[in-house]
Structure 1
C-alpha cells in the first residue's frame, strides 16, 4: 500500500484493515481473490506475530492489519488438496509506535494443510474458522521442506509470479534439500544442500535492500570479500520491495564471534585474525568507495551527524538512568567533531556495511575472511542505512565487538581487547594507507554512539549484559 493510502487508514483495535486495492494478481476463485482472507487470518496473526523473534514491535499492542499483497506460490485448491503456500505482505498497525505511523510491513510465508503432521507441530499458527481457508490449518511454511524447496525451484525458473518477481544471476541445480536455520533474530535463512543460503527479509521496506545492493556493487568491483548474490526475489507491486537474497553457502566457515570466544577460552591471542579482519574490511571499503561514493562530510553534514548522535545519547539517558552521570563527558566526544567541522575539516564518505561486528564475518578453512549481512542495523530506517557514511563507522563497530568478546570471558582481559583493536587498525592501514586511529575525534564519536546504542539495546533485551557497554561508556567518558 502506498504512503498516501496508508495515511488514510483509521486505526481501531477491534478492526482488521484491508487495502483499498485488491490483492495483486489473484488466482480466480482462490483465497487471494477476495477480501475475506486477511480478516479470517487476523485472530491467528494477533497471537502468533508478536511471538516471532523477527517481529520488531514487541511490547506494543497490535491494532490491526492491512493486506498489501498476496500470492499463491503453491495454490490451495480445495479442502482435500495437499499443502499450499501463501506469500503475504502484511502491514501491522501499532499505535504505540508513533515513529512508524503507517505500520511495519512484514513478509509471511504461510503453509496451508488440512491437518498438520507431528513433525511440523512446532510450526503451527492455528486453524482458520471462517473465510476462504475455513477448516484448514495454517503454519510457518519455511519449516516444511516440501514448501521451502519451492522457493529454490522458483529461482531456477525466474520471472514473475503474482505480486512477486524472481531473478537469478547463474544456473542453479535442482534437488537441493532445504533446512531452516534457527540462529537469526531479524530475518529467516534457509540452507539448500550446503550449497546456497537464502536470507528471507521479514520486515521489508520500499526500495532495494542493502543486503542485495551492496554485494552486487562489490562483485561489480571485483571484490571477493562477500559471497556473490546468485538469485533474489522482490515484490513488484504496489511498490518494489527486496524480499530475499540467495548466496553461496560457505560450508565449513566459522564466524568471527565464535572464533574469538574460542581463542579466549584457549587463553590465546586473536591478533593475527584481527589484523586479517582489518585488511578484509579495508578491501571492502576501497571497493565501496569506488562503486558507491558519497559527498564529503562538510560543515552541514557534520552538524547533522553530531545532532543525531546527541539526540540518541539524550533519549537513551532518559530511558537508562545509569547513563546520566556520563552524559556531559560523552557530549564532549561529539562536540569535538562539531568543532573540527567548524574549523573547516571534512571527511570522505561512501556506502558502508552499517552493522559490522565479529558475528558478521566468516573465516573459511583456508583462513580467508568474508563479510556478510550488509543489511545494516535493522532498527534504523532504510533511507538512513542507504546513506553514505564515514567508513570509520564500520571500524568503530568492529572495535566494540572485540570489547564485547573480551567482556564475555572471565576473567576480563582489557589487554586482549586492546591488542585486537590495535591489530585490526594496523591491518586496515596496510590496505587503505590510513590508520583509523589517525582521526581520533571521529573514531571516538562513533565508538561512543555505538556504545550508547548498545546500552539501550541491553537495557531493553538483555539486562545482564548491560555492564558490558557501560564499561565502555566509562572508558570513553574518561578519555574525553
Structure 2
C-alpha cells in the first residue's frame, strides 16, 4: 500500500477537492475496504476505497481506487499511476472515473450490504461500511457512468441505466464525499427526510453509503456517498435567471413560485426534523458570529472597514428582536442550488450548507431567514454579473423586482402565522441582518478567490446600510 500512498501524495494536491493550497500531501492510511465487482470485467483486478488522513490539511479524505491492467484507452482524467512489479504493472485509477466502481457501489447500496475492511496499519478497528437503500427504491440495469464536471468539494458520478424493457431508464447521480467528517452529512439527512415525506422539491432518493472508521481520537461514523435520481438536460435557476435578465424579461412570476417552493421546503423540514425555541444564548452566539465575520472581512476588504458602526447597529437590532423557532434549513441557498424541472417546478439540491462552516453548525437548527437572505443575495449577483460583463445597469431594477416577488411568494407559501411567531417588523430586522452578514461573507470570499467580483458584495453592503 505504500507505493499507492506515494502516488496519491502527488496526485491529490492537483484535485479540486483537495483542501491544501500548494502544500505537499502528508498521507497515512486510516483503513480501506474492497468492493466486489458487480459483473465480470476483463482486466479488472481490484476495486477498493482508501480512507487517508492528510496531516498537511488536517483532513480525512475518501479515495475510491480501481486497479486494472494497463490499457492505452484508459481515460487520462482517471489515471493516477502504475503499481505492482515491473513485470506485471497495472494502472491505479481514480474510481470515480471508472464505471466498475460506480456499478459495484450501486450494487452494495441496493443489496443493503455490509463490508468490513482489512487490518488497519495501527491495529485500530477496521473500516466498516453499509449500504442503505431508500425503502421501495429500485434502479435499472447499469450501462455506464461519467463524472459530472465542475464540482469542487465532492465528486458526482452520473450513471446511465436501462429498464427491464431495454429502454433508457431514469439516470442516477452518486455524490462521493471526498472530505469526510464525523457525523451526519446534512445533504443526506435532509434530502432523505424530504423525499420520505413525499416532497417533490428534492430528487427522489435511491440510497446512501455510511461507514465507521478510526480517526486519531477514536472511532467515528459518517456518510461516504449519497445516490438519487438525476434530472438530465435541465438548467439551474441561475442560468434561467441570468438569461431572463440579459433579455430584459420579467422574472417575477418565476421568482414568486421560487419563494413559494422555498417556504414549502421550510415547512416540511419544520414538520419532520427537530426544531427548538431560540434561547438568549443562541441569539447572542449567532449575532457574535456575524460580528466576527465582519471583523475578519474588514481586514482583508478595506472598502468596508469604515462601516463598522452602521453594521454594529443593524446586528444590535437583530439581537434585540424576537427570533422565530430554529429549524433545519438548506444552509447555502442560492440560484445555483435550484433546478428548473419541467412538469415538476423548482427542485432544490445540495443541502450540505456552507462548506467553510463546521459540520456541527451545519447540522444545528437555524433561522429560515438565512436561506431567504441567501436567495436575495443571489438575485443581486445576477445583476452584478451583468454589470461586470456588459455594463447593464438596468439589471438592478430587474433584481429588485425579482427580490420583491420572491419575498411575496415566500410569505404566501408560509400559510397562517403562529400566534407565538415574531412580528413582521422583527422578521424584517432579522432578514436585514442576515442579508448583510451574507454580503460580508461574500466580500471576504471574493477578496480571497475572485477579486474582480469584489465590487458586487461591496456595493451590496453599502446599499443595505443605506436602506437600513
Task: Give the TM-score, by structure 1 length.
Answer: 0.83
- How far residue 438 of structure 1 moved from its aligned partner, in angstroms, is 6.2
- How far residue 473 of structure 1 moved from its aligned partner, in angstroms, is 1.5
Distance 1:328-1:165 versus aligned 2 partners, 3 A rule: same
- How far residue 130 of structure 1 moved from its aligned partner, in angstroms, is 8.1
- How far residue 339 of structure 1 moved from its aligned partner, in angstroms, is 3.0
- How far residue 262 of structure 1 moved from its aligned partner, in angstroms, is 1.4
The CA deviation string for residues 88-108 of structure 1, in whole angstroms up to 9 with x for no partner, is: 1112112xx6xxxxx211111
Map residues 258-407 of structure 1 onto 2, 5 A cutoff.
Answer: 258-340=239-321, 345-366=322-343, 368-407=345-384
- How far residue 405 of structure 1 moved from its aligned partner, in angstroms, is 1.2
Aligned to 2:164: none
Aligned to 1:27: none
SS of equivalent residue, structure 1 residue 226 = coil
Aligned to 1:33: none
Contact between 1:111 and 1:139, CA under 8 Å: does it hold in 2? yes
Aligned to 1:100: none
Match of 1:253 among 216, 223, 234: 234
Is 1:172 the equivalent of 2:122? no
- How far residue 235 of structure 1 moved from its aligned partner, in angstroms, is 1.4
- How far residue 321 of structure 1 moved from its aligned partner, in angstroms, is 2.7
Map residues 24-43 of structure 1 onto 2, 5 A cutoff.
Answer: 37=1, 39-43=2-6
CA RMSD of aligned residues (A): 2.4
The CA deviation string for residues 351-406 of structure 1, in whole angstroms up to 9 with x for no partner, is: 10101111111111126111111111122111000000111110000001111112
- How far residue 135 of structure 1 moved from its aligned partner, in angstroms, is 4.2
Distance 1:367-1:232 versus aligned 2 partners, 3 A rule: closer
Contact between 2:29 and 2:51, CA under 8 Å: does it hold in 1? yes
SS of equivalent residue, structure 1 residue 439 = helix
Match of 1:142 among 79, 83, 96: 96
SS of equivalent residue, structure 1 residue 125 = strand
The CA deviation string for residues 248-272 of structure 1, in whole angstroms up to 9 with x for no partner, is: 1123432101111111222202111
Question: How far apart in 2 are the matches of 1:468 and 1:134?
Answer: 56
Match of 1:414 among 393, 396, 403: 396
Distance 1:294-1:327 versus aligned 2 partners, 3 A rule: same
Moved more, 217-226 or 366-375: 217-226
Question: How far apart in 2 are the matches of 1:388 and 1:62?
Answer: 37
Aligned to 2:420: none
SS of equivalent residue, structure 1 residue 300 = helix
Aligned to 1:109: 64
The CA deviation string for residues 216-237 of structure 1, in whole angstroms up to 9 with x for no partner, is: 2223433221123211111133
Aligned to 1:471: 459
Is 1:66 the equivalent of 2:43? no
Question: How far apart in 1 are the matches of 2:198 and 2:314?
Answer: 37
For structure 1, the residue ranges without an aligned partner over 5 or more in a row are 1-36, 98-102
Distance 1:214-1:367 versus aligned 2 partners, 3 A rule: closer
Question: How far apart in 2 are the matches of 1:93 and 1:394?
Answer: 34
Moved more, 431-440 or 172-181: 431-440
Contact between 2:200 and 2:344, CA under 8 Å: does it hold in 1? no
For structure 2, the residue ranges without an aligned partner over 5 or more in a row are 117-127, 161-169, 215-219, 418-422
Question: How far apart in 2 are the matches of 1:206 and 1:348?
Answer: 27
How many residue pairs align between the two structures?
A: 426
Distance 1:473-1:266 versus aligned 2 partners, 3 A rule: same
More strand by share: 2
- How far residue 338 of structure 1 moved from its aligned partner, in angstroms, is 1.8
Question: How far apart in 2 are the matches of 1:42 and 1:82?
Answer: 20
Contact between 1:437 and 1:443, CA under 8 Å: does it hold in 2? no
Is 1:192 the equivalent of 2:159? yes
- How far residue 81 of structure 1 moved from its aligned partner, in angstroms, is 5.5
